[in-house]
Amino acid sequence: MLDGSPSPAVSLVAIGVVHRRRLRDVYRSAGWPCQDAIEIELVAAGLLVRERGPFGHETLRLSDSGIAVLAETLAGNRRRRDAHELLVERVAREMTRAGRLAWRGLAVRARVGEQWQIAMPDVFSVRHTTVEAYLEPIVHEIKVQRSDLLCDLRRATKRETYLQLGGECWYVVKAGIAEPDEIPPECGVLVADGAGLTVARPAPKRPARMSFPLWMALARATPVEGWRFEEAQGALGEGTQVPGDGSTA
């Protein structure tokens, strides 16, 4: 064990999220022991190694096997993050093709009950119009992992902030990770697969008025590159057709 070689006990320990998180914490820290069950399992599995200093105090370090598990975890997280970001980009582009202005990664204040919450929708979009009543703000929340979706569905306050921001709230889920009836009925469901985005259940439409904090967040952010004003700009004095509105600005 002291030489950092894997222990035969490694096959007896199911390495879960809490174990991987502890490996990361030990790697980032000075390695002071917690002396709890997670640490016992990691030491027994040969992923952590105990070392005694010159003054008798004990510390922990990651063995080569522990470093390998941590690297595997980071690679998996990166793959999941990349898949999520690709789908976010896909949805944002679809919104711009529909003649909307779309933003990714907004941080917006929303009031839920008596408290203000910070909402960070994956995609937020409005119609490209000069008439406030026609904006029709929409929130899309993107999920590519079932565990992430289930965790999100348990957070009713987070969902309420999205409902406060948009007249429609959609969950965009990777095909196969959930059934539409698992999503709360106040939200629509889009299923993403290789063929495109399929409406599994439309989102209920509700009247929505954009708050001043939301206007300020949009003013500070940059929309997704897509629809260009020059494409619809006419000569001075002529009406300008706004994509998606069926009206002139």
For 182-229, the pLDDT digits (tens) are 999 999 999 999 888 999 999 999 888 888 888 888 988 889 876 554
Q: Angle, nearest 10°, between helix axes 17-28 and 64-97? A: 110
Residues 24-65: pLDDT tens digits?
889 888 788 888 999 889 999 999 999 888 887 889 999 999
Q: 13 in the Ramachandran plot: left (φ > 0), alpha (ψ -120 to 50) or beta?
A: beta
Distance from C-alpha of 116 to C-alpha of 87, rounded to nearest angstrom: 29
At residue 176 the predicted structure's pLDDT band, cuts being 50, 70 and 90, is very high
Residues 6+ apart with CB under 8 A from 161: 108, 110, 112, 117, 118, 119
Residue length of the chain: 249
pLDDT category of residue 83 using cuts at 50, 70 and 90: confident
Average pLDDT, the chain: 83
Q: Considering the chain, what percentage of its residues have pLDDT values greater than 90? A: 38
Kind plus residue range of the DSSP H or E element containing 179: none
d(CA 194, CA 105): 24
Instruction: Output the pTM of the full model.
Output: 0.65
Query: Measured between alpha carbons, how far is 98 from 243 in angstroms, rounded to an integer?
Result: 8
